[in-house]
């Protein structure tokens, strides 16, 4: 019998997603931030996503419960934002040991509800089961106009690569306190100028590779243009920034930056360009151009950073 630790997360996901079903109303299944389905006779599509938050993996036992709740709901809302959708419903399955105190769980729910209230989502149910440590498995839905979901598969050679905020050092607190870019995601969809988008959960260098693979393209990043909290390496690989990473045709970038500045009062960072070299990810530092190392984390391995089932 093959073990997950032997074949690794990504190979396991490849095999498991091969077992997923199909349906005439399914617009996009596995491989993006959310699955997308048509809602007949409404002119709308619905998006679906789920994400776990596990003690000692995504948070520590002494972290403030409200911050844990913010992260649990925020990861799902960030996936919904990455499609350009408006959040709707959240469900949470709680796994906890018998000695788990109820007051901590109640405060976690306070944190989840506060973030849901901010973005128009509603926590509507879930389940409770016994397990060896505290786990929060959150499922969420969102909605958007039919056929408008921003996928990872639309990037084209020559497109600019953009990011909505600084990256790196999320372990110092941002990974618990971040604000999912829900308003920004819907705005970017409404402009009609974005060709591909996702959120940054596993690090810029890792997540950009998902766009490259889905779109059949490559990329050249400009080290000087990447907004950083700390070092370049931290910006590339730390993960859990939950900013939006997207592409747009180069001729539309200035218009998009102006609209962005007017709406949000911040600068939109253009950090590189899409190339025709399929799945090649390169970095320019001054006069030097190098291939970036693939440091993608795999659950069930000895790697050092988080991962996602998408």
Lowest mean pLDDT among 17-26, 229-238, 299-308: 299-308
The arithmetic mean of pLDDT across residues 110-137, rounded, is: 98
Residue 309 confidence (pLDDT) above 60? no
Q: How far apart are CA 247 and CA 292, in angstroms?
A: 19
- List of domains in the chain: 4-145 (3.30.1330.10), 160-291 (3.90.650.10)
Q: How confident is the model over 127-165, as pLDDT tens digits?
A: 999 999 999 999 999 999 999 999 999 999 999 999 999
Lowest mean pLDDT among 185-189, 190-194, 284-288: 284-288
Residue 307 confidence (pLDDT) above 60? no
Confidence of residue 167 (pLDDT cuts 50, 70, 90): very high
Percent of the chain with pLDDT over 90: 90
Q: What is the pLDDT of residue 294?
A: 81
Q: How far apart are CA 48 and CA 97, in angstroms?
A: 28
pTM of the full structure: 0.94
Confidence of residue 301 (pLDDT cuts 50, 70, 90): low
Q: How far apart are CA 115 and CA 77, in angstroms?
A: 9
Percent of the chain with pLDDT over 70: 95
List the strands of the sheet with 44-54, edge to edge: 26-28, 35-39, 44-54, 135-145, 86-96, 122-130
8 Å CB contact between 240 and 207: no
Residue 284 sits at φ, ψ, to 5 deg, of -100, 125
Q: What is the pLDDT of residue 293?
A: 82
The arithmetic mean of pLDDT across residues 102-112, rounded, is: 98
The arithmetic mean of pLDDT across residues 251-280, rounded, is: 97
Residue 125 confidence (pLDDT) above 90? yes
Residue 76 confidence (pLDDT) above 90? yes
Q: What is the pLDDT of residue 295?
A: 73
Q: How far apart are CA 186 and CA 184, in angstroms?
A: 6
8 Å CB contact between 8 and 300: yes
Residue 280 confidence (pLDDT) above 70? yes
8 Å CB contact between 70 and 176: yes
Confidence of residue 306 (pLDDT cuts 50, 70, 90): very low
| Dihedral sign, Cα of residue 160, residue 161, residue 163, residue 167 | negative
Q: What is the pLDDT of residue 299?
A: 67
The arithmetic mean of pLDDT across residues 111-132, rounded, is: 98
């Amino acid at each position: 019998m093959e073990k997950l630790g032997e074949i690794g997360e990504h190979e396991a996901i490849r095999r498991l997603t091969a077992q997923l079903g199909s349906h005439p109303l399914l617009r996009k299944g596995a491989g993006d931030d959310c699955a997308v389905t048509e809602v007949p006779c409404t002119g709308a599509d619905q998006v679906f996503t789920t994400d776990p938050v596990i003690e000692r993996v995504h948070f520590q036992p002494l972290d403030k419960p409200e911050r844990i709740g913010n992260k649990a709901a925020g990861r799902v809302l960030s996936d919904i934002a990455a499609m350009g959708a408006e959040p709707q419903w959240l469900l949470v399955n709680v796994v906890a040991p018998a000695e788990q105190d109820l007051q901590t769980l109640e405060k976690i729910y306070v944190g989840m509800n506060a973030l849901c209230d901010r973005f128009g989502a509603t926590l509507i149910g879930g389940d409770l089961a016994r397990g060896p440590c505290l786990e929060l498995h959150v499922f969420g839905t969102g909605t958007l106009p039919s056929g408008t979901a921003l996928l990872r598969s639309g990037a084209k050679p020559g497109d600019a690569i953009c990011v909505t905020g600084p990256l790196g050092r999320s372990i110092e607190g941002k990974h618990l306190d971040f604000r999912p870019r829900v308003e920004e995601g819907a705005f970017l969809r409404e402009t009609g100028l974005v060709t591909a988008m996702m959120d940054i959960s596993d690090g810029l260098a890792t997540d950009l590779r998902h766009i490259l693979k889905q779109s059949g393209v490559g990329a050249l990043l400009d080290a000087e243009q990447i907004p950083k909290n700390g070092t370049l390496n931290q910006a590339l690989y730390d993960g859990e920034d939950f900013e939006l990473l997207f592409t747009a045709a180069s001729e539309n970038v200035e218009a998009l930056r102006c609209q962005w500045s007017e709406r949000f009062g911040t600068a939109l960072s253009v950090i590189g360009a899409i190339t025709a070299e399929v799945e090649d990810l390169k970095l320019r530092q001054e006069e030097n151009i190098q291939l970036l190392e693939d440091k993608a984390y795999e659950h069930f391995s000895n790697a050092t950073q988080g991962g996602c089932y998408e």
